[in-house]
A and B are shown apart, each in its own frame.
Chain A
Amino acid sequence: MDKENLKFVIVGHIDHGKSTLIGRLLYDTDSLPKGKIEEIEQICKSLGKDIEFGYVMDHLEEERDQGITIDTAQTFFNTTKRNYVIIDAPGHVEFIKNMISGASQAEAAVLIVDADEGVKEQTKRHAYILGMLGLDQVIVVINKMDLVDYDREKFETVKKELLGFLSGINIKPSYIIPISAKEGDLITGKNDNMDWYQGPDFLQALDSFKIKESAKNKPLRFVVQDVYNFDKRIIAGRVESGIIRKGDRIKILPSGEETTVKSVEEFLKNVTEAEAGKSTGITTEDKLFIDRGDVIVHDRDVPVLTNHIRANIFWMDNTPFNKGDILWFRCATQDVACEIEKINRVINSSTLDLIAEDADEIKNREVADIIIKTDKPVVVENFNTIEELGRFVLRTDDTLAGGIITELVQ
């Protein structure tokens, strides 16, 4: 049986050892091409140094540049439990854009902090972004413990400082682990120097994380794309989450009318159900007014209809947004006019600097925490509950911004 995959991202201050940790993980899990680590070790030795695992990343980048490795932004390794994909974000802008657009979705994050230097401004900014993107499976590693003589007190000081900051932005790390990526302490098994630490090592912690729940196990959300009148009236759409079955009692939103699924239609196939990810058609027992943009749900699991949404957006157009501009909000096939009622804060996606609070403008490549008011109620979800209805775009003729919903404002 194929092993499952878990995608994660490593963030933190630039000099706190991200590349070394990745190199060490690849080395300790035997995921490097034969001969390469020996070559790196040999050159380090030739230069009179100990092996530096950070150069493993340079080697992988070199292979990508030369087209030897096809994948351009991901690094792979595996444990006995599962396969891991490290999403290698070349910069904050790409990372945030990919996360918000869904192009590359991390399910977990590792925040790396230097034991000697402690929490830096960049550490805080990265942590803030993790919170903003709704990542709740987070490991904090306090790295370079070798440089502080594996001192417990030093670890506790950095841990306390970091937790103080993280609690203020609602991030509760699953684990805080002292490591030395350079020496391999507490990465996978080896712990010769920190017997005062009793928790899991890094890979054990990672293995304990859950992979993203399959959308088919979530409540039904069938978004209507069109209605066709042939010899029977077929409602075509896509099952974004859950499973729709023949005989199910369903509710049509926003009208709230109820009926029963008479059949599930698939071309040249005799089926009785369709699950998440499937574009399909259904017929209903009653002839109701159903239109593109409606969302069909089970009557036992009805979502909130709302016209107030709190969201984080990534502005990706040269034309800035100015307060008062009318936009279109598109989520699945729902397309309604909207306005941005409040811009809580705006952040530079490159430097992660806070640009403004209670702002009037959002410019290209800026990230903003906003409140949207739609003209009509829409069926949306918190991004962390049902991702498929928690992601949207804002547009005029062109797409201007992508966003994820963080809160449904009642």
Chain B
Amino acid sequence: MITVLAIDALEYTLVEKFDCNNLKQKYYGKTNISEFSEPRTMVLWSSFMTGKNMEKEILAKGDKEMWNTRLDIKDTFFDQFENPKIIDLPGFNYITDQHDQERKLLKEFFDVQSEEEKDQVRVEYNNLAFEHHRKIKEEFIEVLEADHDFILGYFSVADVIGHLNFGNRTMMKMIYKDLDEIAGSLKNQFIVLSDHGMEQIGIFGDHSNYGFWSTDFKDLDNPGITDFAEIIREMR
């Protein structure tokens, strides 16, 4: 069985800083996403699963519609497996309601004026993201026991929480340590992959222009996100 821990906005420097040894595994580094004009979540994950640069195609859908992207399994490397299980991956089976709600609250946070209102929205936003994280974690742990030859769990908590709280290092460390624990619970060979990282802007966070990867079996040097489709195919 091959497992991919797909973590949105897992920042290389924080993995190092917080000493997340399970996330780092034996070989780790930054993924190269310089071929993309901007580090956009939907573009990057779509490019990952198809093994080709999907920027043009996704951007053509427009800002709103791109979030509804649902690629056919036949267009992805998941098709190479007999019984794959993909959880909540953008561009494939993303839980649209959840992420729409997150984006709505994020917009609301910047729209409201008073600090009190902002605090309220922040709490609501954080709670929503954490609740979703718990659900995904639970599902992910459950499917690890089932009979799948490929499992991908997509964890958005570092990205969603990071956007409003990246400057809160204690909170981010707690999230990274939780993700590290998830990686530590994996028994079989796995890849950790993030679409991009995150950089601090005051208390907030914005996407950085490199991702993160780790494996326990091979030094991938400086891989592009589109290289992983082939890497995983070879692992079968």
Contacts and interface: CB of A to CB of B under 8 A. Distances in A.
Interface of A: 39-40, 43-44, 46-49, 52, 55, 58-59, 61-62, 65
Given A55-B173, A55-B174, A62-B168, 8 more contacts: A40-B174, A43-B170, A43-B171, A46-B127, A47-B130, A49-B178, A52-B174, A61-B169
A26 to B, nearest CB: 14
Top 8 closest A-B pairs, CB basis? A46-B130, A58-B170, A59-B170, A62-B169, A47-B178, A43-B174, A48-B134, A58-B173
Interface in B111-164: 126-127, 130-131, 133-134, 137
B157 to A, nearest CB: 9
A65 B170 CA distance: 12
B175 interface: yes
Contact of B170 (A40, A48, A49): A40
A47 B173 contact: no
Contacts of A62: 168-170
A40 B126 CA distance: 13
B134 A58 contact: no
A37 to B, nearest CB: 11
Contacts of B175: 43, 47
Nearest to A60: B170
Nearest to A61: B169
Contacts of A47: 130, 133-134, 174-175, 178
Interface in B52-101: none
A163 B234 CA distance: 55
B170 A46 contact: no
A221 B168 CA distance: 52
18 contacts: A39-B170, A39-B171, A43-B130, A46-B126, A46-B130, A46-B131, A46-B133, A47-B133, A47-B134, A47-B174, A48-B137, A52-B174, A55-B170, A55-B174, A58-B169, A58-B170, A62-B169, A62-B170
A335 to B, nearest CB: 45
A59 B173 CA distance: 10
Contacts of B131: 46
Interface string B10-47: 00000000000000000000000000000000000000
Contacts of B170: 39-40, 43, 55, 58-59, 62
A255 to B, nearest CB: 59
Main secondary structure of the interface of A (DSSP, over half): helix
Contacts, number: 38
A59 B172 CA distance: 11
Nearest to A49: B178
Interface in B158-195: 168-171, 173-175, 178
Contacts of A46: 126-127, 130-131, 133-134
B89 to A, nearest CB: 22
Nearest to A46: B130
Contacts of A43: 130, 170-171, 174-175
A52 B171 CA distance: 12
A23 to B, nearest CB: 11
Contact of A44 (B127, B134, B174): B174
Nearest to B173: A58
A110 to B, nearest CB: 23
A58 B173 CA distance: 8
Nearest to B127: A46
Among A43, A44, A48, A55, max chain B CB count under 10 A is at: A43
Among B126, B173, B174, max chain A CB count under 10 A is at: B174
Contacts of A59: 170
A387 B171 CA distance: 43
A20 to B, nearest CB: 13
A48 B141 CA distance: 14
Contacts of B134: 46-48
A48 to B, nearest CB: 5
A50 B130 CA distance: 15
Nearest to B126: A46
Contacts of B126: 46
Contacts of A55: 170, 173-174
A48 B137 CA distance: 10
Contacts of B127: 46
Nearest to B138: A48
A62 B200 CA distance: 14
A39 B168 CA distance: 11
Contacts of B130: 43, 46-47
A65 B169 CA distance: 10
Contacts of A48: 134, 137
Contacts of B137: 48
A55 B174 CA distance: 8
B204 to A, nearest CB: 15
Nearest to B133: A47
Nearest to A47: B178
A127 B150 CA distance: 48
A162 to B, nearest CB: 27
A295 B127 CA distance: 69
A39 B175 CA distance: 13
A253 to B, nearest CB: 53
A386 B98 CA distance: 68
A43 B171 CA distance: 7
Nearest to B130: A46
A55 B168 CA distance: 12
A43 B131 CA distance: 11
